[in-house]
Amino acid sequence: MADYLQVSTTTDSREAAQALLRSAVGARLAASGQVFGPAGSVFWHLDELGEGEEWQLFLRTTAERYEDLEKHLVEHHPWDNPEVTFTVIDGGSARYLEWLRRMTTP
């Protein structure tokens, strides 16, 4: 796994996404994040096709903190089986990446 990651999940409300963001950054599991939405969504749920609006949450963290961040998001998420995925950050400014590492160091 690469050193830096962008982690994402979705929720059914802005308030739930902001609460997850606040708690994850507050616990230093992520250095920062943003909430975007609402976004139109189509999905399979309980073997039925569903449609609705979701709020997207993006967080930046290090590979070392990913497991703890994933656990935190799943435990505090309002859904039973939330999507939690990550994308590798292949590069960025050295000062930013050093800040990201410092902000996620327990």
Half-sphere exposure of residue 24, counting CA atoms within 13 Å on the CB side? 35
Residues 74-106: pLDDT tens digits?
A: 999 999 999 999 999 999 999 999 999 999 998
Task: Kindly list the domain boundaries of the chain, sorted by start residue.
Answer: 4-103
**What is the DSSP-derived secondary structure letter of residue 81?**
S
What pLDDT shows up at residue 73? 98
- Is 80 exceeded by the pLDDT of residue 40? yes
Sign of the C-alpha dihedral computed for residues 25, 102, 72 and 69 taken in this order: positive
pLDDT at position 45: 87
Asked if pLDDT for residue 57 goes beyond 60, the answer is: yes
Instruction: Classify domain 4-103 at the CATH class level.
Output: alpha beta
